[in-house]
Amino acid sequence: MSDTTAARSGTFEIGGDLPVRRLGYGAMQITGPGVWGEPQDRDEAVRVLRRAVELGVTLIDTADSYGPFVSEELIAEALHPYPDDLVIATKGGLTRPGPGEWLPVGRPEYLRQCVEMSLRRLRLDRIDLYQLHRIDPEVPLDEQLGVLGDMRDEGKIRHIGLSEVSVDELEECRRHVPIVSVQNLYNLTYHKSQDVLERCEAEGIAFIPWFPLATGKLAEPGGLLAGVASRHDATPAQLALAWLLHRSPVMLPIPGTSKVAHLEDNLAAAAISLSPDEVAELDKLA
């Protein structure tokens, strides 16, 4: 696959007024091991971000907990001042005691601080899409969403999204504030959030699958996934991304990488056209 432009993936309007290319970039992997500290090659991380924009990516997803703070700072260093059509989505509500550790904190005063500091690190006046990274079970939901709604009213947030929620949680959250996106674990081999995806489709809510490239044994030489990929002169990873794009019109995959070569390979998935029979064939692999 030689066509690596994200424009081939089509567009989706987040919240009805925020158009993005459907194949985006997830900026978690431009940090150190365990999503902790500086990347091993900072210059390459900057090149990845700039190359993503060059290749038509208009949605970059990050979080204050990636590093922590490192991913947001790198995005600003590499891309500010931002192109007019670039949407930077970030998240808050998870604290980082150490590498590989993630703990939810949803106290309103903490979430307000998260938003303010993300604005500062990203050098923005308003965050287009701000996502509650996890619901904190120790804090009333109306308090967690209430402060985000207040900051939306103040003009510091444009739209509010969620991460790792069930259908019931999504609907409960929507009773407090408008929700325009959900970011759940979903890929070719993991469909636990299928009911959430279907609800997002019904309501026109963006569904952002994290860990989109999990293919495991399906991608091994001689496997069924490798066979379908060979028909398209593609890699199994590219096929897994193409399947996500074909799976639903509200799907916005955000594959992440810290290498320009891998980024270009991932974005080439936008050019893969799967037949209905091939999509059905891949559906059965889960």
DSSP per-residue letters across 8-33: GG-EEEETTTEEEESS-EETTTTS-T
- Reported as a pLDDT band with limits 50, 70 and 90, residue 97 is very high
Considering the entire predicted model, what is its pTM? 0.95
- Give residue 109's pLDDT: 98
* Catalytic residue annotation: 66
pLDDT digits (tens, 9 = 90+) for 27-57: 999 999 999 999 999 999 999 999 999 999 9
Q: What is the largest CA-CA distance in the chain?
A: 55
Closest by CA position to 257, among listed 249, 248, 267, 247? 267
SS3 state at 234: coil
* Range with the poorest average pLDDT among 64-68, 170-174, 277-281: 277-281
Domain ranges for the chain: 11-283
- Give residue 213's pLDDT: 86
Distance CA 60, CA 20 (A): 10
- Give residue 228's pLDDT: 84
In one letter, which amino acid is 218? Answer: L
- Give residue 257's pLDDT: 94
pLDDT of residue 230 exceeding 90? no
Closest by CA position to 55, among listed 231, 257, 236? 257
What average pLDDT does the segment 62-73 reach?
98
CATH superfamily of 11-283: NADP-dependent oxidoreductase domain (3.20.20.100)
- Reported as a pLDDT band with limits 50, 70 and 90, residue 284 is confident
When comparing pLDDT for 230 and 257, which is higher?
257
Sign of CA dihedral 44, 46, 49, 53: negative
What average pLDDT does the segment 258-275 reach?
95
